[in-house]
Amino acid sequence: QVQLEESGGGSVQTGESLRLSCVVSGYIDKEPCMAWFRQAPGKEREGIAALDSRQASSYADTVKGRFTITQDKGQNVLYLQMNSLKSEDTGMYYCAVQTMSTAYPCLVDRGYNYWGQGTQVTVSP
């Protein structure tokens, strides 16, 4: 059974950094997409960073240039390095894995069949 577990969230001040980790356990044959999503209070969940099967990354405009998604395939860990954090980055962060290809870009949450429980990030002014 595939399980995803996030860690690394916390409370920081504006301008600081955090690195989120997502440990993927269980066997996954294919990973067309792996991604980080976040949900801010009162808002819909949004895709913020994703890797496709060729390890090409994509980012939401709101985090481009500040966040970096990477994967350690040997350890089955997905990372999200978050720099220059802003108060609007506050939210619950989820990692997700899609094991079947869809017509949607990796930043769209349609088709993701495995999700973690989330880790909270709070950025104070």
pLDDT in tens, 70-88: 999 888 999 999 999 999 9
Instruction: Report pLDDT for 26.
Output: 87
Place of tokens 């994967």: 71
In the predicted model, is pLDDT for residue 30 greater than 90?
no
> In the chain, what percentage of residues exceed pLDDT 70?
100
Instruction: Report pLDDT for 77.
Output: 95
Q: What is the Cα–Cα distance from 59 to 80, expressed in whole angstroms?
A: 11
In the predicted model, is pLDDT for residue 3 greater than 90?
yes
Phi, psi of 41 (to 5 degrees): -55, 125
* DSSP-based helix, strand, coil % in the chain, nearest 5: 0, 50, 50
More confident position, 10 or 111: 10
